[in-house]
Amino acid sequence: MNILNRYTLITGGTEGIGLELAKLFAADKHNLIIVARNEDKLEDIKVEFEKEYKITVEIIPTDLCVDKFCEKIINVVEEKKIIVDNLINNAGIGSFGFFAESEEGFEAKLININIIALTTLTKYFLKGMIKRGNGGILNVASTAAFTSGPKMSMYYSSKAYVLSLTEAIHDEVKSLGIRVSCLCPGPVKTSFQESAGIKKSEKAKKYLMDANRVAKEAYLGFIKGKTIIIPGYKNKLLILGNKLIPRVLSRKIILKNNS
Ligand SMILES: NC(=O)c1ccc[n+]([C@@H]2O[C@H](COP(=O)([O-])OP(=O)(O)OC[C@H]3O[C@@H](n4cnc5c(N)ncnc54)[C@H](OP(=O)(O)O)[C@@H]3O)[C@@H](O)[C@H]2O)c1
């Protein structure tokens, strides 16, 4: 049911996993607030979704890597008296290579978007959900959250934070009727891999999951109130295997794969 002024907010909802999640929520008649940097793309999606799904779409062009980013989102929501029923913290960045050789200042950008924006938005919107006694938050981590990742150290560490925070909040609020889930995909066919400078062999490219399949599993898991959603049986097996081996060994395997 399309209820006036009740919305699902998605960061990074113009491409990849975020866009596919946006389509699923829109098909279920959720109004949307979409956050991303590219204003033209946001405008196009607003026009397309409002026509196709008969919902209202608010767009907030924002760079989540930059300080004060969340203020803009919160201001729009408060000014328009919007109720955010579901928050999807999807936007995130990564960078391939040795920590000491990463671009100057990249660490602040990554922490701002992957950790601070996600935490700030989670805390702000969770308070409203607790008052109303309903709502849901889906935080996007990665299978990278389960181990340490040489040559992608900041990304793996930030996703470990997302997983740990989300699991803890899930337990804190589940008796209050609020769903809090963590999505942990393995490699997905989106522009993320290229933006992060990850080079995949032709063989490895065959194992990339489609973003729409990841989003479908995420959506179903979120509706069911699952704590951790790992799309695809290969990723589930990978995580299980990783739990059975010493951390030193999983780091060695990742370093070898990343060389
Ligand atoms: N793809 C994978 O292999 C993979 C695997 C596991 C987990 N994940 C996680 O899944 C999430 C989504 O990744 P994806 O692969 O779907 O990425 P994607 O296809 O590259 O899409 C990224 C989305 O985030 C937005 N975005 C990027 N930087 C932003 C910024 N600074 N401020 C605001 N919005 C920003 C982009 O729009 P603009 O460019 O217009 O800002 C776009 O809408 C990320 O958290 C990622 O870590 C991805």
Question: How far apart are the CA of 92 and the centre of ligand 1, in A?
Answer: 5
Say if ligand 1 is within 6 A of residue 17 CB. yes
pLDDT class for 146, splitting at 50, 70, 90? very high
Could you give the dihedral angle defined by the CA atoms of residues 214, 55, 36 and 190, in that order, rounded to the nearest 10 degrees?
A: 30
Residue 136 lies in a domain: yes
Q: Are 13 and 57 in contact (CB under 8 A)?
A: no
Cα(202)–Cα(222) distance, rounded to whole angstroms? 32
Predicted confidence (pLDDT) per residue in 161-200, tens digit: 999 999 999 999 999 999 999 999 999 999 998 888 887 7
In what helix (H) or strand (E) does residue 140 lie, and over which residues does it extend? strand 135-140
Would you say residue 145 lies in a domain? yes
Residue 125 lies in a domain: yes
Residue 66 CB neighbours (<10 A): 14
**Which CATH number is 132's domain given?**
3.40.50.720
Helix, coil or strand: residue 188: strand
The atom number, within ligand 1, closest to the CA of 37 reads: 41
Tell me the per-residue pLDDT of 190-219, one tens digit each, with 9 for 90 and over.
999 888 888 776 667 778 999 999 999 999
Which domain covers residue 49, as residue numbers?
6-257
In three-state secondary structure terms, 91 is coil
Phi and psi of 179, rounded to 5°? -90, 130
pLDDT digits (tens, 9 = 90+) for 128-138: 999 999 999 99
Cα(239)–Cα(92) distance, integer angstroms: 21
Residue 58: is its pLDDT beyond 50? Answer: yes
Ligand 1 atom with the smallest distance to the CA of 155 is 47
**Residue to mutate, 9, 11, 14, 17, ligand 1, most ligand atoms under 8 Å from C-beta:** 17
Residue 48 CA to chain centroid, in angstroms? 22
Residue 259, SS3 per DSSP: coil
**19 lies in some domain:** yes
Query: How many structural domains does the chain have?
Result: 1
Which of 14, 63, 192, 207 is the best mutation target for the ligand 1 pocket, counting ligand atoms within 8 Å of the beta carbon and taking the most? 192
- Is residue 259 a contact partner of residue 198, using CB atoms and an 8 Å limit? no
155-167 b/e (C-beta count within 10 Å ≥ 16 → b) = bbbbbbbbbebbb
Token pair 């408060």: residue: 78
Q: Ligand 1 centre and the CA of 137: distance in Å?
A: 17
Residue 1 resides in a domain: no
Per the domain annotation, does 174 fall within a domain? yes
With cut-offs at 50, 70 and 90, classify the pLDDT of residue 3. low
Q: Average pLDDT in the 136-153 region?
A: 97
Question: Is 209 part of any domain?
Answer: yes
Ligand 1 geometric centre to CA of 12 (Å): 6
**pLDDT score of 38 more than 80:** yes
204 token code pair: 């490895």
Give CA–CA dist 3/31, Å, rounded: 8
Residue 257 pLDDT exceeds 90: no
Q: Does residue 188 have its Cβ closer than 6 Å to ligand 1?
A: yes
CA–CA–CA angle 94, 98, 101 (5° rounding): 95
Q: What's the CA-to-centroid distance between 28 and ligand 1, angstroms?
A: 23
Plot region of 232 (φ>0 → left; ψ -120 to 50 → alpha; else → beta): left
129 within domain boundaries: yes
> In the prediction, which pLDDT does 203 show?
65
Q: In the structure encoding, which two tokens stand for residue 6, read together?
A: 């009740």
